[in-house]
Amino acid sequence: MSLFNFFRRGSAPIARERLQILLAHERNAGSHPDLLGVLREEIIAVIGRHVAIDPDRVQIKMDRGKSVSTLAVDIEIPNRDQPSGGAPRYSKLTFDAGRDVLGMRGSGI
Amino acid sequence: MAQVLVVTSGKGGVGKTTSTAALGAALAHDGTKVVVIDFDVGLRNLDLVMGAERRVVFDLINVINGVAKLPQALIRDKRLESLHLLPASQTRDKDALTEDGVAKVIDELREKFDWIICDSPAGIERGATLAMRYADAAIIVTNPEVSSVRDSDRIIGLLDSKTVKAERGERIDKHLLITRYSSSRVARGEMLSIDDVLEILATPLLGIIPESQEVLRASNVGSPVTLSNPLSAPARAYFDAARRLKGEQVSMSVPSENRGIFNRLFARKAA
């Protein structure tokens, strides 16, 4: 919503839209109370089978939208050729699962 | 057949206790026997809003523990003799509220009263879940504001899963009571409208209580607004809601804050 509309129409339409998106997701959450936690563990396990990773250096973000939600995963992988004694260096592995993740497209609206 | 109602909301400060007192008095107005129960153990306030705070001797927990008999704990309203209050305790641990204990008290009240109105504490903890546990119907009090609507949605989910009726596979009747509504702010696009809230929560509307200084004045003097100023806009809205609870068809009007010059002068004099 543009700034112009914001001033012209007041903030109630924004409240309404935010609520509709939030509640559509919260109502769905009943079957998946800790979806992000589960995804995080499983993704770490899959990557961990092939490279050593530090679970604290995995970031998972979700942005819940009205018709599309996105899931972004950032995993830092330690470089093997680290100098002895120094802190490990990391490469960054990024997944951006993008659209229509987990069948959330248009969920409940 | 007695009706057990829970007045609930999830969020605090939206008007559960005010609405419990106002609807209780409105329902009792024609001699119908009504009891209002405060489930907010440790933070009771229904006694204060009803103006009975100095007459509390025994409370709900005393009755559950067997320290007092139910008739000893019930406080009869001084203005309406068919209206009674069962207060919560102020000091005791809220774990003293047990499922069996509450069931027994409600069963005993069903024999004596037509309406049993349970004033739920805020939140979704023990007091709130026990207040709704044995309800036949629920009044969800909601302000047209994002956090209140979200919490109401959560409470509706609990009503459909954690009440005895829901567990038996029956439907609990749910009624939405929108409080602190300001039609002028809605007209300016500053406040969620009735249609917005109804569309989001998909629950039938029981009433619309306008934002009004009469509500604060009523709690200041310790009287349900339906008794302190029965002709005020919020009181009329509560009376309409009470009639709908009794099954009457009452057209839903959105109360306006606009008052005529005569009313304004009169209100000033009365103040």
Question: What's the whole-number mean pLDDT along residues B26-48?
Answer: 96
DSSP states along B90-106: SSS-GGG--HHHHHHHH
pLDDT of residue A48: 85
pLDDT of residue B46: 97
pLDDT of residue B184: 92
Residue B23 has pLDDT above 70, yes or no: yes
Say yes or no for a CB contact (<8 Å) between A12 and B190: yes
Say yes or no for a CB contact (<8 Å) between A23 and B145: no
Task: Give the SS3 label for residue B141.
Answer: strand
A14 touches chain B (CB under 8 A): no
Residue B98 has pLDDT above 90, yes or no: yes
Q: How far is B28 from chain A (nearest CA, A)?
A: 37
Identify the contact set of chain B against chain A, taking CB-CB distances under 8 A.
145-146, 149-150, 153-154, 157, 186, 188-193, 196, 200
Give the tens place of pLDDT for each residue, B173-194: 999 999 999 999 999 999 999 9
Which of A16, A27, A28 should we substitute to test contact with B (largest number of B Cβ atoms within 10 Å)? A16
Write the CA distances from B103 to B63, B109, B235, integer angstroms: 12, 10, 32
pLDDT of residue B257: 52
| Confidence bin at B271 (pLDDT 50/70/90) | very low
Token digits of residue A14: 């924004």
Torsion angle of C-alpha atoms B62, B66, B70, B74, degrees rounded to 10: -20
| Confidence bin at A109 (pLDDT 50/70/90) | very low
Give the tens place of pLDDT for each residue, B116-172: 999 999 999 999 999 999 999 999 999 999 999 999 999 999 999 999 999 999 999
Which of A4, A19, A27, A28 should we substitute to test contact with B (largest number of B Cβ atoms within 10 Å)? A19
